[in-house]
Structure 1
Amino acid sequence: MVRRVEATPAALELIERLKSKHGPLLFHQSGGCCDGSSPMCFPRDEFMVGDHDVLLGEIGETPFYIHEKQYDYWKHTQLIIDVVDGRGGMFSLEGVEGKRFLGRSRVFTEEEREALKHET
């Protein structure tokens, strides 16, 4: 199975730490300017997913949504969520940890693109 979103071990570790403090989480990437172009992490019950958001998958048992316009730009790539030192989005939970989530990507192989065509 081809996954549209993955997370590095460091990102998974931070997700677990945030879940222990805040409970179930949700990721969203709006594709707007500034903070919106980064993956943002919220308490799951404090963010309302919109009609134009696409569920890419889960990382660390946490749903990851992206706005459909961003999805159109990035649908040919696998999104890889990493974590780096520094302050990220002011509303994203990891900021107080001195960390920020960062999206990296890689282009799907021809075989992966073919497999994704058969998703239900």
Structure 2
Amino acid sequence: MHTEVKSQGSDPHLDAIKISVFLRAARTAVGLTQVELALQLGISQSAIARCERGAGTIPANVLLRAIRIFSGYGVDISSILERSPSMKIDESFFINFASRFDEDPLPSKVVTGSDEAPTDESG
């Protein structure tokens, strides 16, 4: 049996919207696809998609796992069901984000083919 996530004395529809917005924002901030997050949470990609659209809910234990996963990336969404939730980003997030560029630096010169000028070979 799954327990639906809702905060005490709040509007369940508003809670679903908060969860939808925060899950998508946190997921995209850390660079995870819906499939990658679903695998880490042990649920289907379609469940993530429905939740992010506000068309479905996820069990409380899955939401708690998501909070822990994002925390590991330096993104804190633990206030997700508070009246005025916030997403806190730890310095470790920025360090991890910067390391993405260190591992795959942009090329200093874009090569589009031959450096020679095109020639007219018709004549």
TM-score class, shorter? under 0.3
Larger Rg computed on CA atoms:
2
Between Structure 1 and Structure 2, the one with more helix by share is: 2
TM norm structure 2: 0.26
Question: RCO higher in 1 or 2 (8 Å CA, sep ≥ 6)?
Answer: 1
TM norm structure 1: 0.26
